[in-house]
Structure 1
Amino acid sequence: FSFNEEVNQKGDYFIAVNSLNPRKNIQVILEAFKTLDLHQFKLKIIGGSFNTIFKNDLLGSDSLNVEFLNDISDVELKKEMEGAKALINGSFYEGFGLSALEAMSVSTPCILSNIPVYKELYNETALFFDPGKPLELVQKIKDLIDLENYTDLCKKSFELSQKFNWEITSQRYISIIENLKKTK
């Protein structure tokens, strides 16, 4: 991929790649969107099967501008990420958090929970919030919307993603395994 400012046109929605697993903390995102008066922005939640029962449980009686996209293809996921204003992830725990890196690889900035793995990987690029505080997320969303140098953040996100490479990673693992063999 390459960064292209002309192609980098963002839509009127935020995206969350999520599941109903409690550690994924989808509730903080929904609470934030209930608080925001942002009828011009939609929240698209992409994940496993969010059937009608779970949607109603998650949304409650408040009407939100939320769309659930179930089991979409990788091509559709990439398209949704490319068009999103930002990816939001409120997880309490992640091993790596691949969806943030995928978003950044298509120049989409991220608003992430301030868990250690995200701070370590994306500290200079993402906006962070306490995953237990929906109002902090609300403020970060507002900060991103009002950001004067939004295009610079998109470019910075893309550039960070380019530092992660499967070939380099696999070579490092091979090197570690070979060094372990030598010590035996």
Structure 2
Amino acid sequence: MKILIDARFTRTDHHDGISRYGASLIEALSERPDADLTMLVHDPRQLALLPDVPHVMINSPLSPAELFVSRRINRLNPDAVFCPMQTMGSFGRRYPLVLTLHDLIYYQNRTPPGFLPLPVRLLWRLYHLAYWPQRLLLNRADVVATISETTRALMETHRLTRRPIRIVGNAPQSDAVPRPPVTAPDKSLLYMGSFMPYKNVETLLAGMAGLPDYTLHLLSRIPPERKGELEKRVPGGATVVFHNGVSDQDYDRLLRSATALVTLSRAEGYGLPVIEAMAVGTPVVAADTPIFREVGGTAALYVDPESSEEFTRAVRALDDPPRWKSASSAGRAQALTYSWDTSADSLLAALEEAVELHAKPAGGGRRRTRVQR
């Protein structure tokens, strides 16, 4: 199958969640002898974070030319196209298409990502005022992918698409190996994620008041004004380090020595750091939400995301060496239930289904396809 994968959401410096998702799927698919892959990129610097797969340079997904990108793709004559987002232009397309919706976070938390240009941020806010624009985007596909059962259930609740919804999940890196045995982990806690309000970093900081012997490492890049806001929230006697971004190597090193990865985010599409931590045997303290329950299973320690006291008690529970070792082992077992090979299988099945549906003549049922489980 000649597959075209949209890799234009790959970062040029270091991966974020969507960037890693797309690159990992490309790598897994590239090992399949029956998958003839070509990537779409818009910046040569993206290639440094992508597998060695043939590519075509094309416009940015944020360019006005995106409205007519399908004309260029038609000339490449793919058997099927996969985009890890739902915003890919499709006007006049003549190919089967799988689009992806990761989550519905921005319907409740409408602050757009700061890296978007101002006009796009304004449109973003307007777009998330109602569900009908999302329906228009998703119904342009033949099949819609998402990354979790939690998100699929929300999509069905809000009737976001008439197309089949298929799970193409996230996974830890395929080369993740357990951390070496330790007599006692470092008294460190890691947070990996953005600092948008729904991420609820403020409650993590409040919980550090009861953990003066621990260091909370905030790993991600953070705008100066947001850093200033959070620094004012650090309790007296607490130790909090703002890293403002770390390399993959530093992240791995810190993760393998920490007591726990922590996140009290109120909303996620998946929560990749959770499964990344579990894959190497680092316990997780997470908000008690449906998505974290889905990803973390019975391995994570769950707390009320609004309770800094519960967060403090969960971390203190890991002071007990047998409890820490039990959480570490349970996390590794949970992580083994996810793999990029499995996700690649799911994506191939979704692409094949898209080919079949696209081939049906108008009026033959393709537009009446029901959501299936």
What TM-score, normalized by structure 1, do the two folds share?
Answer: 0.88
Q: CA deviation at 1:182?
A: 2.7
Rounded to whole Å, the distance in 1 between the matches of 2:186 and 2:269 is: 29
Aligned residues: 181
Relative contact order, CA 8 A, sep 6+: which one is greater? 1
For residue 353 of structure 2, what is the aligned residue in structure 1? 179
Give the Cα–Cα distance (whole angstroms) in 2 for the partners of residues 106 and 68 of structure 1. Answer: 23
1:132 maps to 2:306: yes
Whole-angstrom distance in 1 between the partners of 2:239 and 2:229: 15
Counterpart of 2:274 in structure 1 is 100
1:4, distance to aligned residue in structure 2 (A):
5.9
Alignment check: 8 A CA contact 1:18 1:26 kept: no
What CA distance in whole angstroms lies between the structure 1 residues aligned with 2:183 and 2:335?
A: 15
Could you say which residue in structure 1 is the equivalent of 2:229?
Answer: 57
Percent identity at matched positions?
23
Contact 2:216 2:241 in 1 (8 A): yes
In the TM superposition, what is the alpha-carbon distance from 1:151 to its structure 2 partner?
Answer: 1.3
Distance 1:157 1:28, change over 3 A: same
What per-residue deviation string (whole Å, max 9, x for no partner) do you get for residues 97-134 of structure 1?
Answer: 00111111111010000111111121210010111121
- Residue aligning to 2:369: none
Rg (Cα) greater in structure: 2
Match for 2:243: what amino acid?
A: L
Aligned to 1:10: 185
Amino acid at match of 2:196: N
Aligned equivalents of 1:182 and 1:57: distance in 2? Answer: 52
Q: How does 1:85-96 map to 2 (within 5 A)?
A: 85-96=259-270
Aligned pairs for 1:17-166 (under 5 A) are 17-34=192-209, 36=210, 38-49=211-222, 51=224, 53-60=225-232, 62-63=235-236, 64-146=238-320, 148-166=322-340
**1:8: Cα distance to partner?**
7.8
Tell me by how many angstroms 1:5 deviates: 5.2
Give, in whole Å, the separation in 1 of the partners of 2:310 and 2:297.
Answer: 17
What amino acid does structure 2 have at the position aligned with 1:115? Answer: T
Where in structure 1 are there 5+ consecutive unaligned residues? none
TM superposition outliers: structure 1 runs of 4+ over 3 Å: 1-5, 53-56
Structure 1 CA distance, aligned partners of 2:179 and 2:227? 36
**Equivalents in 2 of 1:9, 1:144: separation in Å?**
10
Q: CA deviation at 1:173?
A: 1.5
CA distance in 2, matches of 1:182, 1:8: 55
Contact 2:271 2:295 in 1 (8 A): no
1:41-85 CA-partner distances (Å, limit 9, x unpaired): 11111111353x544421327432111111211111111111110
Distance 2:330 2:212 in 1: 28
The code of the aligned residue for 1:156 comes to A
Q: Name the CA shift for 1:50/1:41 in 2 (closer, same or farther; >3 Å).
A: farther
C-alpha distance in 1 between matches for 2:321 and 2:310: 16
Question: Structure 1 or 2: larger helix share?
Answer: 1
Q: Note closer, same or farther for the CA distance 1:4–1:89 as it changes in structure 2 (3 Å cut).
A: closer
Change (3 A) 1:179 1:62: closer
- 1:16 is aligned with what amino acid? Y
> Cα–Cα, structure 1 residues 62 and 3, in superposed 2: closer, same or farther, change >3 Å?
closer
| Separation (CA, whole Å) in 2 of partners of 1:4 and 1:66 | 24
Q: CA RMSD in A?
A: 2.1
